[in-house]
């Protein structure tokens, strides 16, 4: 455990007021705030170290390239990947999963081939597979969660058939907080020759992740939730899968040679990184991950587990509020509805008046909302800098909303 006030002091935005109230930022599931080291790194990169990467022979281009390329190794370390050539840099999870859909899946899916998804996937891990359904006749097979929001790994394994070409699952639900036992699923899937893609957008923020121990083929992360800049991210691609992939976006940087008649691609991972990348965003992401590793992922997870338990205890005391997702070992993410007709947007507006920032809506999880029979929820999602006092402020604001709408 760490002193949360020391962590908070690293995040300048946390000391500002909103609507005359201290900011209680509980929208980390959507995007996290940035520590001063990241803000400074971004400023320095533009003020002193900026040029395009990979193509220049001049000092600044070499410096920017060195800083940018250095992040590949930081991400590899963060994800427990021994060979950084298996890390493809990109703008975030959405791009990462689309790369796999276009570059790996489209060339090998035939009509009737199946991709297994859980019902709690984010649209970023649904829509690319709908592309495959629309264009190539792929079949989307859905595995439900139980009434606590847990996903039984055996149910996923049982859904595998000879037509299954891919399993694509979140590692942690952005709505329910459910953690998925990816390791068990990967073991069984590997035995049946089925690759597994893991959406690590939430999990990698809140708990230690070792991709090699998990045994997955693809693992996507997104920088802006990892206390880094938006427009940064990466996807781990196992080298065997990388060898099977075709490039997705064509342009500069991903080629070695282009003539009128042919194109010779760069070696992976650059083969899958076309055009000028998010240079400064990626540099900022490297600093953010170093910052997180400096604190220690086990310490971050322990802090957030304690917050989760406190928040659960306080929210359970509100008998007019229903939390979605009640598995004991979940992430500190609470989606809820209130008795009565109050819409999630109205509740979040009241909370905002009290300086409490939460998200309201479908959270990009249409199939899950349909499964839960809900139009929308409010979601309070915690990060490494949140405190039990902030849980209390959330509860006070919720009590006010309840009084107003009861
Ligand atoms: N997957 C999950 C579980 C998410 O929570 C999110 C973001 O909300 C995404 C994917 C998409 O991430 P991005 O919009 O950064 O690409």
The residues facing 219 across adjacent strands are 198, 236
- Residue 121 near ligand 1, beta carbon < 6 Å: no
pLDDT at 78 over 90: yes
Mean pLDDT in residue range 240-262: 96
Predicted pLDDT at 41: 98
**Predicted local distance difference test score (pLDDT) of residue 345:** 92
Mutate to test the pocket of ligand 1, among 120, 235, 364 (most ligand atoms within 8 A of CB): 364
Residue 269 preceded by cis peptide, ω within 30: yes
pLDDT at position 339 is 82
- Distance CA(103)–CA(331), nearest Å, equals 32
Q: What is the pLDDT at residue 300? A: 98
Confidence of residue 341 (pLDDT cuts 50, 70, 90): low
Ligand 1 center to 243 CA (angstroms): 26
- DSSP per residue, 24-85: EE-BTTT-----HHHHHHHHHHHHHS---SSS--SHHHHHHHHHHHHHHHHHHHHHT-S-GG
Q: For 27-67, write each residue's pLDDT tens digit.
A: 999 999 999 999 999 999 999 999 999 977 899 999 999 99
Residue 168, pLDDT > 80, answer yes
Taking residues 95-118, report their average pLDDT: 98
Query: Is any ligand 1 atom within 6 A of the Cβ of residue 94?
Result: yes
Å from CA of 123 to ligand 1 middle: 8
As a whole number of angstroms, the distance between CA 292 and CA 79 comes to 12
174 lines ligand 1 (CB under 6 A): yes
CATH class of 39-294: alpha beta
The radius of gyration of the chain's CA atoms, rounded to the nearest angstrom, is: 22
Taking the C-alpha atoms of residue 103 and residue 95, their distance in angstroms, rounded to an integer, is 11
Ligand 1 centre from 90 Cα, in Å? Answer: 13
381 CB within 6 A, ligand 1: no
321: left (phi over 0), alpha (psi -120 to 50) or beta: beta
- Average pLDDT for 258-270: 97
pLDDT of residue 56: 78
Q: Is 378 a catalytic residue?
A: no
Distance, CA 368 to ligand 1 centroid (Å)? 15
Q: Is 122 in the pocket of ligand 1 (CB under 6 A)?
A: yes
Q: Return the domain boundaries, the chain.
A: 4-30+296-405, 39-294
Strands 24-25 and 356-357 come out as parallel
Per 3-state DSSP, the chain is made up of helix, strand and coil in percentages (nearest 5) of: 45, 15, 40
Residue 136, pLDDT above cutoff 70: yes
Q: Which of 49-63, 176-190, 295-309 has the lowest mean pLDDT?
A: 49-63
365 lines ligand 1 (CB under 6 A): no
Cα–Cα distance list, 93 to 197, 304, 323, 340, 357 (Å): 12, 23, 27, 36, 23
Helices marked H in 139-278 — which ranges?
153-158, 182-191, 203-206, 211-214, 239-244
| pLDDT of 406 higher than 80 | no
Q: In CATH terms, are 4-30+296-405 and 39-294 the same topology?
A: no
pLDDT of 377 above 80: yes
Cα of 257 from ligand 1 centre, angstroms = 35
In this predicted structure, the answer to whether residue 335 has a pLDDT above a threshold of 80 is: yes
> Does residue 308 have a pLDDT over 90?
yes
Q: Is the CB of 178 under 6 A from ligand 1?
A: no
User: How does pLDDT run across 186-222, given as a tens digit for each residue?
Assistant: 999 999 999 999 999 999 999 999 999 999 999 999 9
Helix (H) or strand (E) holding 291: helix 279-295
Report the mean per-residue pLDDT for the chain. Answer: 97
| Share above pLDDT 90 across residues of the chain, in percent, rounded to a whole number | 97
Question: What is 4-30+296-405's CATH number?
Answer: 3.90.1150.10
How much is the average pLDDT of 111-126?
Answer: 98
Nearest atom (ligand 1) to Cα of 223:
15
How does DSSP assign 104-173, residue by residue? Answer: IITTT--TT-EEEEETT--GGGTHHHHHHHHHH--EEEEE---TTS---HHHHHHT--TTEEEEEEESB-
């Amino acid at each position: 455990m760490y002193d949360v006030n020391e962590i908070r002091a690293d995040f300048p935005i946390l000391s500002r007021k909103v609507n005359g109230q201290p900011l209680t930022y509980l929208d980390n599931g959507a995007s996290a705030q940035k520590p001063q080291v990241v803000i400074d790194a971004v400023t320095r990169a533009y003020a002193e170290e900026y040029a395009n990467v990979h193509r220049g022979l001049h000092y600044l281009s070499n410096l920017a390239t060195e800083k940018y390329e250095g992040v590949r190794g930081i991400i590899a370390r963060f994800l427990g990947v021994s060979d950084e050539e298996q890390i493809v840099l990109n703008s975030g999870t959405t791009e990462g999963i689309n790369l796999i859909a276009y570059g790996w899946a489209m060339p090998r899916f035939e009509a009737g081939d199946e991709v297994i998804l859980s019902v709690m996937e984010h649209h970023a891990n649904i829509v690319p597979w709908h592309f495959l359904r629309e264009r190539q006749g792929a079949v989307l097979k859905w595995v439900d969660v139980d009434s606590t929001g847990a996903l039984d790994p055996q149910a996923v394994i049982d859904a595998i058939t000879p037509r299954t070409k891919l399993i694509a699952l979140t590692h942690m639900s952005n709505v329910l907080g459910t953690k998925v036992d990816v390791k068990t699923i990967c073991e069984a899937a590997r035995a049946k020759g089925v690759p597994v893609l893991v959406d690590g957008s939430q999990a990698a923020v809140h708990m230690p992740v070792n991709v090699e121990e998990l045994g997955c083929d693809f693992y996507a992360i997104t920088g802006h939730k990892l206390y880094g800049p938006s427009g940064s991210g990466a996807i781990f691609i196992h080298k065997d899968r990388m060898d099977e992939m075709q490039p997705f976006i064509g342009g500069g940087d991903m080629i070695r040679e282009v003539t009128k008649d042919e194109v010779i691609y760069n070696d992976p991972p650059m083969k899958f990184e076309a055009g000028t990348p998010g240079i400064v965003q990626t540099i900022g992401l490297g600093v953010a991950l170093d910052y997180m590793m400096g604190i220690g992922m086990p310490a971050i997870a322990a802090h957030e587990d304690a917050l989760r338990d406190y928040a659960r205890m306080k929210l359970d005391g509100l008998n007019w509020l229903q939390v979605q997702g009640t598995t004991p070992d979940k992430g500190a993410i609470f989606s809820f509805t209130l008795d009565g007709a109050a819409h999630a947007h109205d509740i979040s507006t009241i909370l905002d008046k009290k300086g409490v920032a939460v998200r309201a809506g479908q959270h990009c999880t249409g199939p899950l909302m349909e499964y839960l029979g809900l139009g929308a929820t409010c979601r309070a999602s915690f990060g490494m800098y949140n405190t039990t006092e902030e849980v209390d402020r959330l509860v006070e604001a919720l009590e006010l909303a309840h009084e107003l709408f009861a």
